[in-house]
Every structure is written in C-alpha cells, then in structure tokens.
A and B are shown apart, each in its own frame.
Chain A
C-alpha cells in the first residue's frame, strides 16, 4: 500500500457556472495531522465532500487509501470517519442508538460498540446525555455525538470539518487529544479550520486554500522558510490569500463576474 492516504489530482468541482474547487492537487502521507486552512468560501467543505464521495468531481481524481472516492465510495467510506460542520440526526433516535447504528453499519459487534461508546462518551462528557433524543442536543453536543460516530470504527482517515465550532473548552481539549492519539496509532487526521492558532499548535502539515485553489502546502517549517523566517501563521495566511482580498475590495462582485465570464455564459 502506498504511503499516501489522500491523493487529489487536478481536482475541479463546478456548481452550475460557479467553480468551487479549481485545479486542486494535494497528497497527504500517513500518518499525519493535516489542516486545511482558508477563508470562508475557499472550497474547504466542498473538498471534504469530494473526499467523502458525496460529490462527484467535475474533473480530476480523488483517491482515498488508494480507492477512488466516488466510484469506490463504499469501500473508501469503510476506512473514513467523517464529522460534518453541522451534523443533524434522526429525530426518533437517542444518542446511544445513533452511535450503535453507525457502528453496526460499519460491521462492528454490539459489545465492541458499547465499549467504545462508553469510553468516548466518558471522555467527551456526553455519557449523561446519551439516552436523550439527539434532536434535543445543543450544537456542541451534536458535534460530540458526530465525533463519536466518526471514531467508532477507528478509521484510517478521520475527516473533520470545522471540528471545534461550537465545542466547549473541555471538548476542544479532548478532541485535540483524540486527534493526536489517532496519529500516534498510525492513522491520519484531516481537518478544516479557519482558526490559525489551532492549526499551529496541532499540525505537522497545512494546506492553505483560497478561492478554490491551493495557495500553499507543506510543513509549517517549510512555509515559514519560504515566506521569511519568523513570520507568524497569521501573516502567512494573509499574504497567501491577500490577492483575493484586494481584488474583492476593488470590485465587490468580482467572484461572480469572473466565474460567469470563464464559463462563457452571458453576464446578467
């Protein structure tokens, strides 16, 4: 098996006339803790959905653990744990039942599920609420429950979309610990965030996305060296995404106009 968990090659994703991801190439070795950075609307969530096989690429390839994410989606998903930005759950299931269902769908037996569920529940301080209907959970609790579902089958690749959004400080600490443990166990964690400080503390490697393109990628050391030593990640980030900010200030709807012009449709 190759040493790469994620291989993205010339990936393009268009929604109608709008290009969300534009020629992205990225590879992530195993094990690693990898952060996807970028301002809002940079295409992070779309990239993650493409990795999950939820969307089909307009062009290019996405391979996860050596499998095509869309065509071999079923086999790929067995190796991935996924936490969306805003998880929503069945309104007729309790937290524990949802975790159990997720585990059973991944082919685990009841005893293993319950063991892991209790362990994770205790660590995330969700045990008390596990017998409550998940629909009543607060945002942070839903996030924790989603995290439990994502971790229950100990996946090779853990994909977390804005994982700390809505989490309390304790939850954040536990989440970071869980991420580090996963990497220590030889697995890979990919997460998107716009919290630079978080990325700085956790990651070996980061990728910065801007307007659907890859602005920079590498270890933090690499990036620092490339853009001048001593620069903080924040400075780096703004340097990398600055072009976009400037043009947006100059011509507010530039994004749409550009996309329209590129796709050859008449500008309305």
Chain B
C-alpha cells in the first residue's frame, strides 16, 4: 500500500463529503470531469452556468438546506413531545392524583381559592394555561378534559405538586419513574424509525452510482491504493453526504436538555450520537452498495434500489408528518412497552429506551455508541473488501449475460403502435421509471393519506368545505405533481441532449410538447375529480361550475410554465450531470399560491386576473426559450439577458403576497384596520422595489432601452386632462350608485383640516400620493409594459398591461383605472420617460381623493 496516496484519497473524500454537505451543487464528479477553474481561458470544455453560480444563489441554497433541516427537526420534536405527553395522559388515567409542576400547582391553588362566580372560569383558565405549552395537536385537549373532570370530581384533592427535583424538564419532570421509562422507550422507537428512514434516504443517494458505471470510483482505481482505503474513504465521504448528522444532533440535544443535562454535556452527547448515527448510516450504505453491486445483476439491483427509495420516502414522510397521530402514538407506545431493552442499544436508537442511559450512564453510553459505530464501519469496509476480491464490479458490467436477449415482443409493440414518437417515449418513461411514478404521481396521494390518518375530520373537512377549497386542493396537488416531474423528466432529457439537438425540431418545441403531454396526464385526474365533486357536492354546484373552467386553464398553463421555467434554469455540465437553478422554483411557487388563492376565493375578477398573469408568464417564457435555449450547452456565450414581462409579473406576485402578509401581521399589532393595510401596501412596495434593484445590480440584467422622443410636457398634460376628466365622470356615476360610507372608497379621503391629520391620514397620503404613483408606474409601465412591447407591439401591450392593472384594483373603480392605465402607457410610449406617467398617476389619485372627500362631506 502506498501511504501518501491513501492519505490523499482519504483527504479528498473528506473534503468532498463536507463540500457536498455544505453545497450540494459541488459534486465530486463534476470536479474531476471538468477540472480547472471557470476563469481559465484555455479551457476547451463547456462552461457551465454552475461555475458562475452567484453568491446569491449559493446563499439561497444554504438557506433552503438549513430550513429543510430545521423543518425536519421541528416536525420530529413535535412528535417526540406528543409521545411523552401521551405517556403522561396514560398515567393520569390510572393514577389517583394528577402530578403538576410546582408553578402549575400554585397557579391552580390560587385559582381554586377565588370565591364566587368566577371560580370555575379561573380554574378552567389555569388548566388551559398549563396545557397551552403543550405542542401536541390532540394531547392538549385531552389533558384539559381530564384535568377539568378531575377537578370537578375531587377538587384540589385530585392534584399534587411534583415533590422533588427529578433532574428532568418539561413533561418528563411530572412523570413517575415508570412513566418516564415508558415515554423514553416510545421516544427511542421513534428515533430508531427516524434514523432508519434517514439512513434509507442516504441509501437512496447511491442510486445514481448503481444505475451505471461509477466514473469516480473507476477513475480512482488507477491510483496505488488498496480497496480497503478506497472503501474507507468513500464511507467517510458518505458520512457527511446527508443531513442525518445535523438533524440527529439537534434532535438529540433537545431531548438531552429535557432530561436535565446541562448545555455542554447535552451538546457533547448529541454531537457524539449524531456522528455515530451518520457513520452507521454510511457503513450501511457502503455495505449495501457493495453487496448490490457485487452480487446482483442490474435488473435485480434496480428493483431493490427502487424499493429502498419508495420505502425510505414513505417512512420519512411518515416519521415527519404522520407520527403525531393518535393511532401511531398509541402504536409506538404499545411497541415500546414490549420491545426488548437490547433493541435500544444501537447507534440508530441513540440510547433512548432506558431512562438510566441518559441520566446515569451517559459517559459509558457515548463510549459504547462510538465503539459500535466504528465497529460497524470497520465491518462494512472489510465486507466490501471481501466481496470485491475478484475485482471491483463497477464498470458498465454487461447485463446482457444475465438478462437473456429476448425475441422482439410482438404484443408489446402492437400495443404501443397507436402512440407515435414522443408520446410513446414519454409513456415508456412513465412506465419504466418506477421512481417517477412513485415519487411524483403517488406522493401527493400519500401526503393526503397521512394527513387523513392524522386527523380525519380536519383533512377531508377542510378539503370538502366548499367548491373553492375543492378546486384549490385539486390545483395544489396538480401543481405539486407538475413541479416535481418537470425537473426529474427534463433532467433525463437533458442527459441525452445531443440526441434532441439532432432531431429536426427546435428545443423549445420539444419542451412545449413535453409540457403538453404532462399537462394532459395531470388534467385527466383533475377533471375526473372535479367532475366527481360537481356530481356529489350538490350544494356547491354553482361555485364549482364557475371555477372548473379556470382550474383546467390554470393547470394547462401551469404545465407550460413549469417546464419552460425549469428548462431555462437548466445547466448541462456534461452528459450525465444536469442541474436546475434553485431560484427557478420561485416562479412555480408564486403561481401556485396565486392560483390556489384565486380558486379558493372564487372572485371572478381575481380568477380572470390570475389567468391573464399566467398567459403573460407562459408567453414570456416561450419567448425566452426561443432566445436562450440554444445556448444551453454553451452558456458562456449566452445572449445578454434583458428584463422582460416575466420579471414584472414576479415582482407583482411578490408585491401582492408581501402586501397581504404584512397587512395580516399588522392586524395582530396595535396598528389594526386601515392603517395596518396601508403600512402593508407601502412596506411591500418599498421592499419589492429595493429587492428588485438589488437583484438587478447583482445579476447585471439591464432593461431594454426605451426610445425617448419629443417633449414631455405636452403629452403629459394631455394625458392628465383625459385621465382626470374620465375619473371625475366615473366618481360622479359611482356616487349615484354606491353607499360612500361603506364602500372601499371610504379610505380614499384627504384630511379636511390640520387637526384631523393623524397617523392614519399620513399613511394614507403616503400610500396613495407617493408610493402608488411611483411604485405602480415603475412596475406596470417601467417593467411590464416595456417588457411586453418588445414582442407584442404597442396596442396589445397597452391592452394587456392595462387589463392587469385594472384587475388588481377594486372592481368599482375599473373604468377610471382602466383609462388611467391606457393613458399612462401611451404617454410613456410617446415620451419614453417614466416621470410623465408618474406625474399623471399622482394627479389622478389626488383628484379622486379630493372628490371622495368632498362627496363624503
């Protein structure tokens, strides 16, 4: 053995492993195959867009990764707490007295001491407060019921304060020693389940290297190192390949602290356990990989890995979502009572299962844990070495020897004869790639199933509440499927890009065909389900009949948007590596939220507005595909990107979302009512504007220059005159027909005297006279109209941007607003300066406000 080589390889794998953990975009493979750095001008290979990944996208990636881990930890800790609470509930049911913490007991005593009418209410409140810290979805109510019943029966006699400091915190503290043991066992089982699932996910990651020859391993074999070192290095790398170490460390730390450990002891223990769990998972993975590769043919291998993928996904989904359910909590507790203690003595259960382990023997257990995982790793490496005695079976081992060459299957070919070209290929892809079927088509059903299991009334009740919720759910599920399959399917397609490129059709065409195929696949069940809802939900026939056409149009357009956006976000590094820019998920996500909300609310105005937005997005994407997709393999030469209408729509979508969220948050503060909404409006506008500017500055994208011609003053004054006079007439019409005091226009008032200028009046003037003219003109004329006119011409762009501008305003003001939109767009076209429309908008808003103030007076 050559020790410098061994050290080099170990160091390399350690580095790449950590790098994978930190940044999933930096795959080992890519480093080897591309070599060099991106700025090296002598490189003849293709420059990939990922080489130039901006700091922003890296930060975004890190953010996604971090939030994914935190999400996992939070979901799991909820279930752990539910398990402990369930043990407590069991104890309450059997013991004569309910044990409370000293604080809770004193609160109850003082509540019980109140005399007269308020006593019952005070006691109920005290009990509610005790249980309000509880996180479990259903245990809280059960505890309150039990405690209230006990108080009604026995009074204060039914309760007792926890006598001594047990060294445990939270619910552990009020459990008896046996109860604690039971809770620990069920928690131990849960942690075992969770870690097994994470290990399964780690196994899933090896899928790629099993599917074909592993170029990295192949390449590394040329160096003078023993197989043992190679496998060891691979194991070290894979220890860090999944977030399992992170997740387990945080989860265990939270539990250790609940068991009364001080901060550093708990942290040390959890770090040790996290590392041992990750090492064990890596050992399992390396061993499984080796067994599968060395001992099985490709077909069997494929079947087994697909099975692992499915089971691991299911278990993980269950461990994350389905665990808090009453049924599963009971099942885990029941199993915990019966499981032999020895079961918990392994790294994957991290010692939970015996209350003593963490409290008393923790030093011994951490040592054991480390030894066990190291031992498992050692055996895994030895087993891999043994198995590969006859040479590493990592080349593209022919399967033709074990899979008998079959005679052409007549029946199968006849069956597919009616499908031509692309459709036949897509169908084969769906049928022969079980992971696409399972992960993409079945997972929404699985999620729905798990939610149902968790709380039958809430899931179905919420979905079937009315026509709006039915349609919104159908759309959300369809969007999930489309978003999931677009990237996985395009990844397959782009791996054989040369093939697509040699066919006599443009790449944009191929992708559009693909989106149509998948849109149809998703539409069929969506139409079926909505038809079923229409037939059975007789009370909401009208609501459904209004929404279903929009639902269908939304899904069809969403398919195109999803595939179009994904294709544009793809970068092809080499013939086996395709990546998708993460920021491309923003667009489908925004569209999904927007469409679901529109379908849920069912206002015809917002339904139409959303449809217009989707059409615009789809067309903008088509345009960009034609311009940008030919560069997919040579992005270093890609044409300079320019701002287009899709960017405007993203900004608009973000503005609406943030406005509503901010407004909603304000409702919870002192700034309730109109003032909160106004702050939401202005805050969102400022935030979106600044973010957009920052992004533009970061990415270097420029706007298309707008031709400046002629003078500004004359067209501006003409425009002002037209807009203001139509607005004047329209306010007159409205005044005859609506009740001013209750209409939305009640907020459009100017203060009539100096004394009446309060916070709200200032906010109102700021929003309507300053933010609205500046922001809306920048967005609708400066971004949207300017983007549209590049390809649509003036007339269509004025109409489309005007329509969108009108639908986002209240229906009552439509005529005035539509006129304003047309006038400002025309003036912008004429002058080429954004200041003119801004001035017109300001004067228009001022006039309208003055008119409403006058009519209210």
A107 to chain B, nearest CB (A): 8
Interface residue B396 (Cβ < 8 Å from any Cβ of A): yes
- A89-114 interface bits toward B, Cβ cutoff 8 Å, 1 = contact, 0 = none: 11111001100011011100010000
CB nearest to B417 among chain A residues:
A110
Interface residue A246 (Cβ < 8 Å from any Cβ of B): no
Asked if residues B425 and A93 are in contact (CB atoms below 8 Å), the reply is: yes
Asked if residues A136 and B499 are in contact (CB atoms below 8 Å), the reply is: no
Q: Which A106-146 residues sit within 8 Å CB-CB of chain B?
A: 106, 110, 128-133, 135-136, 138
Asked if residues A88 and B636 are in contact (CB atoms below 8 Å), the reply is: no
Asked if residues B502 and A136 are in contact (CB atoms below 8 Å), the reply is: no
Interface residue B498 (Cβ < 8 Å from any Cβ of A): yes
Asked if residues B505 and A15 are in contact (CB atoms below 8 Å), the reply is: no
Report how far A130 CA is from B406 CA in the complex, Å: 9
Asked if residues B405 and A128 are in contact (CB atoms below 8 Å), the reply is: yes
B286 to chain A, nearest CB (A): 24
Most chain A Cβ neighbours within 10 Å, of B40, B44, B406, B429: B44
Asked if residues A132 and B403 are in contact (CB atoms below 8 Å), the reply is: yes
List chain A residues, Cβ under 8 A from B425.
90, 93, 97, 101
List chain B residues, Cβ under 8 A from A17.
41
A47 to chain B, nearest CB (A): 13
B604 to chain A, nearest CB (A): 42
Contact of A253 among B42, B298, B502 (CB under 8 A): B42
Stretch at the interface among A1-9, A75-83, A170-178, A198-206: A75-83
Number of residues in B with C-beta < 8 Å to the partner? 50
Contact of B502 among A52, A56, A260 (CB under 8 A): A52
Report how far A136 CA is from B396 CA in the complex, Å: 7
Asked if residues A91 and B492 are in contact (CB atoms below 8 Å), the reply is: yes
Interface residue A186 (Cβ < 8 Å from any Cβ of B): no
CB nearest to A118 among chain B residues:
B408
Interface residue B737 (Cβ < 8 Å from any Cβ of A): no
List chain A residues, Cβ under 8 A from B428.
92-93, 97
Asked if residues B634 and A15 are in contact (CB atoms below 8 Å), the reply is: yes
Asked if residues B39 and A80 are in contact (CB atoms below 8 Å), the reply is: no
- Knowing A88-B498, A131-B405 are in contact, say whether A15-B46 is a contact too (CB < 8 A): yes
List chain A residues, Cβ under 8 A from B398.
136, 138
B425 to chain A, nearest CB (A): 5
List chain B residues, Cβ under 8 A from A92.
428-429, 432-433, 492
CB nearest to A19 among chain B residues:
B41
Number of residues in A with C-beta < 8 Å to the partner? 57
List chain B residues, Cβ under 8 A from A75.
504
Report how far A16 CA is from B496 CA in the complex, Å: 24
Interface residue A232 (Cβ < 8 Å from any Cβ of B): no
Asked if residues A259 and B41 are in contact (CB atoms below 8 Å), the reply is: yes
CB nearest to B492 among chain A residues:
A90
Asked if residues A18 and B42 are in contact (CB atoms below 8 Å), the reply is: yes
- Knowing A16-B636, A91-B212, A105-B421 are in contact, say whether A256-B502 is a contact too (CB < 8 A): no
Asked if residues B501 and A101 are in contact (CB atoms below 8 Å), the reply is: no
List chain B residues, Cβ under 8 A from A133.
399
CB nearest to B408 among chain A residues:
A131
- Knowing A91-B211, A101-B421, A131-B406 are in contact, say whether A15-B504 is a contact too (CB < 8 A): no
Asked if residues A89 and B496 are in contact (CB atoms below 8 Å), the reply is: yes
Contact of B407 among A74, A131, A263 (CB under 8 A): A131
List chain B residues, Cβ under 8 A from A131.
405-409
Q: Which B458-510 residues sit within 8 Å CB-CB of chain A?
A: 492, 495-496, 498-499, 501-506
Asked if residues A77 and B496 are in contact (CB atoms below 8 Å), the reply is: no
Report how far A198 CA is from B283 CA in the complex, Å: 51
Interface residue B672 (Cβ < 8 Å from any Cβ of A): no
List chain B residues, Cβ under 8 A from A86.
575
- B27-60 interface bits toward A, Cβ cutoff 8 Å, 1 = contact, 0 = none: 0000000000001111110110000000000000
Interface residue B424 (Cβ < 8 Å from any Cβ of A): yes
Asked if residues A88 and B496 are in contact (CB atoms below 8 Å), the reply is: yes
Report how far A106 CA is from B505 CA in the complex, Å: 9
Report how far A259 CA is from B631 CA in the complex, Å: 22
Report how far A89 CA is from B398 CA in the complex, Å: 16
A71 to chain B, nearest CB (A): 10
Report how far A138 CA is from B636 CA in the complex, Å: 33
Report how far A54 CA is from B212 CA in the complex, Å: 27
Asked if residues B399 and A15 are in contact (CB atoms below 8 Å), the reply is: no
List chain B residues, Cβ under 8 A from A110.
417
Contact of B44 among A18, A53, A150 (CB under 8 A): A18
Interface residue A73 (Cβ < 8 Å from any Cβ of B): yes
List chain B residues, Cβ under 8 A from A54.
498, 501, 633
Asked if residues A129 and B400 are in contact (CB atoms below 8 Å), the reply is: yes
Interface residue A20 (Cβ < 8 Å from any Cβ of B): yes
Interface residue B742 (Cβ < 8 Å from any Cβ of A): no
Asked if residues A105 and B41 are in contact (CB atoms below 8 Å), the reply is: no
A179 to chain B, nearest CB (A): 18
List chain A residues, Cβ under 8 A from B41.
16-18, 256, 259-260, 263, 265
Interface residue B536 (Cβ < 8 Å from any Cβ of A): no
Report how far A75 CA is from B633 CA in the complex, Å: 21
Asked if residues A255 and B42 are in contact (CB atoms below 8 Å), the reply is: yes
List chain A residues, Cβ under 8 A from B424.
97, 101, 104
B45 to chain A, nearest CB (A): 8
List chain A residues, Cβ under 8 A from B409.
131
Interface residue A55 (Cβ < 8 Å from any Cβ of B): yes
- B616-644 interface bits toward A, Cβ cutoff 8 Å, 1 = contact, 0 = none: 00000000000000110110110000000
Asked if residues B575 and A90 are in contact (CB atoms below 8 Å), the reply is: no
Asked if residues A105 and B504 are in contact (CB atoms below 8 Å), the reply is: yes
Asked if residues B502 and A82 are in contact (CB atoms below 8 Å), the reply is: yes
Asked if residues A15 and B496 are in contact (CB atoms below 8 Å), the reply is: no
Q: Which A239-263 residues sit within 8 Å CB-CB of chain B?
A: 253, 255-256, 259-260, 263
List chain A residues, Cβ under 8 A from B576.
88
Report how far A101 CA is from B501 CA in the complex, Å: 14
- Knowing A52-B501, A86-B575, A268-B39 are in contact, say whether A16-B633 is a contact too (CB < 8 A): no
Interface residue A58 (Cβ < 8 Å from any Cβ of B): yes
Asked if residues B506 and A73 are in contact (CB atoms below 8 Å), the reply is: yes
Contact of A84 among B40, B212, B407, B498 (CB under 8 A): B498
Asked if residues B498 and A87 are in contact (CB atoms below 8 Å), the reply is: yes
Q: Which A1-36 residues sit within 8 Å CB-CB of chain B?
A: 14-18, 20
Report how far A78 CA is from B212 CA in the complex, Å: 32
Interface residue B736 (Cβ < 8 Å from any Cβ of A): no
Report how far A54 CA is from B629 CA in the complex, Å: 11
- Knowing A16-B636, A132-B405 are in contact, say whether A105-B42 is a contact too (CB < 8 A): no
Asked if residues A259 and B42 are in contact (CB atoms below 8 Å), the reply is: yes
List chain B residues, Cβ under 8 A from A53.
501
CB nearest to A83 among chain B residues:
B502
Q: Which B560-577 residues sit within 8 Å CB-CB of chain A?
A: 575-576
- B382-416 interface bits toward A, Cβ cutoff 8 Å, 1 = contact, 0 = none: 00000000000000101110010111110000000
Asked if residues A20 and B496 are in contact (CB atoms below 8 Å), the reply is: no
Asked if residues A80 and B502 are in contact (CB atoms below 8 Å), the reply is: yes
- B427-439 interface bits toward A, Cβ cutoff 8 Å, 1 = contact, 0 = none: 0110011000000
CB nearest to A97 among chain B residues:
B428
CB nearest to A91 among chain B residues:
B211
- B196-232 interface bits toward A, Cβ cutoff 8 Å, 1 = contact, 0 = none: 0000000000000001100000000000000000000
List chain B residues, Cβ under 8 A from A101.
421-422, 424-425
Interface residue B753 (Cβ < 8 Å from any Cβ of A): no
Interface residue A70 (Cβ < 8 Å from any Cβ of B): yes
Contact of A132 among B400, B492, B633, B636 (CB under 8 A): B400
Report how far A130 CA is from B422 CA in the complex, Å: 19
Most chain A Cβ neighbours within 10 Å, of B399, B503, B631, B634: B503
List chain A residues, Cβ under 8 A from B506.
73-74
List chain A residues, Cβ under 8 A from B405.
128-129, 131-132
List chain A residues, Cβ under 8 A from B406.
131
Asked if residues A56 and B630 are in contact (CB atoms below 8 Å), the reply is: yes
List 14 A-B residue pairs with CB atoms under 8 Å apart, sorted by A's residue number: A16-B41, A54-B633, A58-B637, A74-B505, A74-B506, A77-B503, A77-B504, A88-B495, A92-B429, A97-B424, A101-B421, A131-B408, A136-B398, A138-B396
Q: Can you name 7 extra interface pairs (CB under 8 A) apart from A135-B212, A136-B398?
A: A77-B505, A88-B576, A90-B425, A91-B211, A97-B428, A131-B405, A133-B399
